[in-house]
Amino acid sequence: MNADTKKTRVLIVDDHPILRHGIAQLVGRESDFEACSEAGTVDEALAVLADQPADVAIVDLSLEEQSGLELIRRAKARHPALQCLVLSMHDERLHAERALRAGARGYLMKQEATRKIVAALRQVRAGRIYLSETVASEILTRLASGNERSDPAGGAVGGLSDREMEVLRLIGRGLKTGEIARSLHRSVHTIETHRANIKRKLGLRTSGDLARAAFKLSEPAAC
């Protein structure tokens, strides 16, 4: 790389410091990238971006409080030129389209980060979409058939709203209704309504059924 060429500044957002450090090392090995900053929460990431603008943000979906999708929406509203790459342990087939609708330009599974994160960053930096070949093919097939809003995993989860998916994720982490309400800055009544809607859409009868389904969906995807 020419010494006068500006490096791409990368913000890494994940609530696990060790993982952030590992990603920063991978990024820092490349002459055209610079891991310029790190953050562990949505608010922290937004504060960092206000002080140290980045070109690309690598964002985990499962942050401690609000989700990575919320961060992407808010960050893109404040910094339209920012490109976002989701790096997640959760199944790409369930979450990639939601991430793209929120404003992300790519989705990469954490299991593949060591081998593919540099290629994903370069794709996203160039303004192109980065997805696995399988998921990209599924999305294109649905678009071609006019069925763009169907569930990529072939189940009822695709019918949940982004907020309902976030509530389901927090249920899977063991949070109670009041804790979810505080985490999402919503009323207990609102969260109870989301829980009822999730049960109805997923065909679940009891709170135990809901907890089991949430836990299953929160498990890391198989390699």
The pTM assigned to this predicted structure is: 0.73
CB 165 within 8 A of CB 202: no
Domain spans in the chain, listed from the N-terminal domain onward: 8-141, 156-218
d(CA 26, CA 20): 10
**Structure-block tokens of residue 155:** 């189940």
CATH class of 156-218: mainly alpha
- What is the full per-residue pLDDT of the chain (223 aa) written as tens digits? 455 568 999 999 999 999 999 999 999 999 999 999 999 999 999 999 999 999 999 999 888 777 899 999 999 999 999 999 999 988 788 788 889 989 999 999 999 999 999 999 999 999 999 998 878 877 777 666 665 554 444 456 767 888 888 888 888 878 899 988 988 888 999 999 999 998 988 888 888 888 888 877 765 554 4
Q: Is the separation of the CB atoms in 55 and 8 below 8 Å?
A: yes
Cα pseudo-dihedral 99, 116, 64, 17, rounded to 10: -160
Pick the closest to residue 56 from 128, 147, 121 (CA basis).
121
In this chain, the answer to whether the domains covering 8-141 and 156-218 adopt an identical fold is no
Q: Which amino acid is at 139?
A: I
Residue type, 115: R
Residue with token string 């696995």: 132
* Topology of the domain covering 8-141: Rossmann fold (3.40.50)
